[in-house]
Amino acid sequence: MATGRTKKPVDRITTAQLEAAMSKRWSAPEYALLWEVADATGGRQSRMADALIMGLYPSRTIDLEGVEIKTHRSDWLKEMRNPGKAEAISRYCDFWWVHATPDVVKPDELPAGWGLRVYNGRIWSTVHQAERRSPEPIPRTFLAALLRRSDQQMTKQATRLTEELIQKERQNIDLRISEEVNRRTSLSASLAVVAEEFEAATGFDLKQISMHGSARYAARITAALMKQDLHNPYSGLEWLVKQLRQTADATAEAMASIGLEPPTLEQCARRRR
């Protein structure tokens, strides 16, 4: 009985992944990369290249390279049955390439002059170098198609960047709202604890106080006590009462020592009235 491990199948590289790799490899400012460029505009359009790469640094040549993208063997075999259709655009290019994933295109299947680059998911490899062509001058019909595609890509990119900025700002707003909700929830919880302790200590119903319009007076009294620190056992009302009692006792003793009768509490109360 076989006990060997079964090989995990390799994930197929998609067209989107290959195009993303192209965008990274042939990027500005060294290159201009246009997708799905037609040979003309309007009713004159007949063929389309998957991509065009234009070198922008004269020191590294400013060649125009056409690209056919193939990620499925069946798609390539279909292309082989009519390779002449590429001539509608390849005649204006310095080089013509096939960009493929592994095992899709065999080098000996390439039409004369075509090159092959393969992307394996990590790096690009030039399997067969494309031959330099003698391109025809670009007519205005093709130039119009190039400019239209460039404008469309710029508009699409601007729209994408705008949407990304809007999405990022929405996330920031949601985060700020969440933080404010948490802050207010925490504050409400703290106030609820204070209210419970206040009611337990005073026996007052805060809801009743609020309904009778007395809340502001209760708040003022509490604030006055807190600001003056009158609840402090070392300097507040309790301390003040002790000091007054000591002063009263000392005064009564002084009056008695000189033969004066200190007033009683009842006499003090009658005088206040």
Indicate the domain borders of the chain.
Answer: 15-138, 142-206, 233-273
* Residue 86 pLDDT: 92
pLDDT, mean over the chain: 85
The 10s digit of each residue's pLDDT in 37-57 is 999 998 888 899 999 999 999
* Residue 209 pLDDT: 74
What's the CA angle centered on 12, arms 6 and 16, to 5 degrees?
A: 160
The 10s digit of each residue's pLDDT in 213-240 is 666 666 767 766 666 666 666 666 677 7
Residues 90/83, Cβ–Cβ less than 8 Å: no
Average pLDDT value for residue range 83-106? 95
Residues 28/55, Cβ–Cβ less than 8 Å: no
Q: Is the pLDDT of residue 58 over 60?
A: yes
What's the CA angle centered on 174, arms 188 and 177, to 5 degrees?
A: 25
* Residue 192 pLDDT: 82
Q: Is the pLDDT of residue 9 over 50?
A: no
* Residue 91 pLDDT: 96
| DSSP state for residue 91 in the 8-state scheme | T
Which residue from 62, 234, 51 is spatially nearest to 150, judged by alpha carbons? 51
Which residue from 1, 74, 6, 65 is spatially nearest to 30, judged by alpha carbons? 65
* Residue 237 pLDDT: 67
Average pLDDT value for residue range 92-114? 97
Cα–Cα distance measured from residue 142 to residue 2, given in angstroms and rounded to the nearest whole number = 61
Buried-state track 183-200, b at ≥16 Cβ within 10 A, e below 16? eeeeeeeeeeeeeeeeee
**What number of CA atoms fall less than 13 Å from residue 156's CA on the CB side?**
8
Cα–Cα distance measured from residue 108 to residue 168, given in angstroms and rounded to the nearest whole number = 49
Which has the higher per-residue pLDDT, 126 or 5?
Answer: 126
Quick check: helix, strand or coil at residue 234? coil
Q: Would you give the distance in Å from CA 113 to the centre of its chain? A: 47
Lowest-confidence segment of 113-117, 223-227, 260-264 by average pLDDT: 223-227
| DSSP state for residue 73 in the 8-state scheme | H
Query: Strands across the sheet with 31-38, in order?
Result: 31-38, 48-55, 64-70, 95-100, 115-119, 124-128
Lowest-confidence segment of 48-62, 65-79, 241-255 by average pLDDT: 241-255
* Residue 125 pLDDT: 97
Cα–Cα distance measured from residue 103 to residue 15, given in angstroms and rounded to the nearest whole number = 14
Helix (H) or strand (E) holding 70: strand 64-70
Q: Kindly give the pairing relationship between strand 31-38 and strand 64-70.
A: unpaired
* Residue 213 pLDDT: 62
Q: How would residue 269 be classed by pLDDT, with cut points 50, 70 and 90?
A: low
The 10s digit of each residue's pLDDT in 173-225 is 888 988 888 888 888 888 888 878 877 877 777 777 777 666 666 676 776 66
Cα–Cα distance measured from residue 84 to residue 192, given in angstroms and rounded to the nearest whole number = 81
The 10s digit of each residue's pLDDT in 134-174 is 999 999 999 999 999 998 998 888 888 888 888 989 999 88
Cα–Cα distance measured from residue 54 to residue 33, given in angstroms and rounded to the nearest whole number = 7
Considering the domain delimited by 15-138, tell me its CATH architecture: 3-Layer(aba) Sandwich (3.40)
Q: Is the pLDDT of residue 18 over 80?
A: yes
Which has the higher per-residue pLDDT, 7 or 138?
Answer: 138
* Residue 30 pLDDT: 95
